[in-house]
Amino acid sequence: MATRKTTRKSVSSNRAAADAAGAPAIDIGLSDAQRRQIADGLSRFLADAYTLYLMTHNFHWNVTGPMFNTLHVMFETQYTEQWTALDEVAERIRALGFSAPGSYAQFARLSSIEEEGPLEDNTDWRGMVRRLTLGNEAVCRTARKVLKTADDAGDDPSVDLLTQRLQIHEKYAWMLRSLLQ
Ligand SMILES: [Fe+2]
Over residues 75-113, the pLDDT tens digits come to 999 999 999 999 999 999 999 999 999 999 999 999 999
CA distances from 68 to 12, 13, 81 (A): 68, 69, 20
Q: How far apart (Å, rounded) are the C-alpha atoms in residues 167 and 56?
A: 18
Domain contains 11: no
Specify the CATH number for the domain of residue 47: 1.20.1260.10
* Residue 18 resides in a domain: no
State the distance from the centre of ligand 1 to the C-alpha of 33, rounded, in angstroms.
42
Q: Which tens digits make up the pLDDT trace of 125-167?
A: 999 999 999 999 999 999 999 999 999 999 999 999 999 999 9
pLDDT of residue 68: 95
Confidence of residue 6 (pLDDT cuts 50, 70, 90): very low
Report how many domains make up the chain: 1
CA of 60 to the centre of ligand 1 (A): 7
* Residue range(s) defining the domain that contains residue 102: 31-179
Centroid of ligand 1 to alpha carbon of 47 (angstroms): 23
Distance 172 CA to ligand 1 centre (A): 19
**Centroid of ligand 1 to alpha carbon of 3 (angstroms):** 71
In the reported structure, the alpha carbon of residue 82 is separated from the centroid of ligand 1 by a whole-number distance in angstroms of 15
82 belongs to a structural domain: yes
The predicted structure's pLDDT at residue 176? 98
Residues 6+ apart with CB under 8 A from 23: none
Tell me the whole-structure pTM to 2 decimals: 0.87
Predicted local distance difference test score (pLDDT) of residue 1 = 42
Which positions ≥6 away from 5 have C-beta within 8 Å? Answer: none
Å from CA of 145 to ligand 1 middle: 33
pLDDT at 2: 43
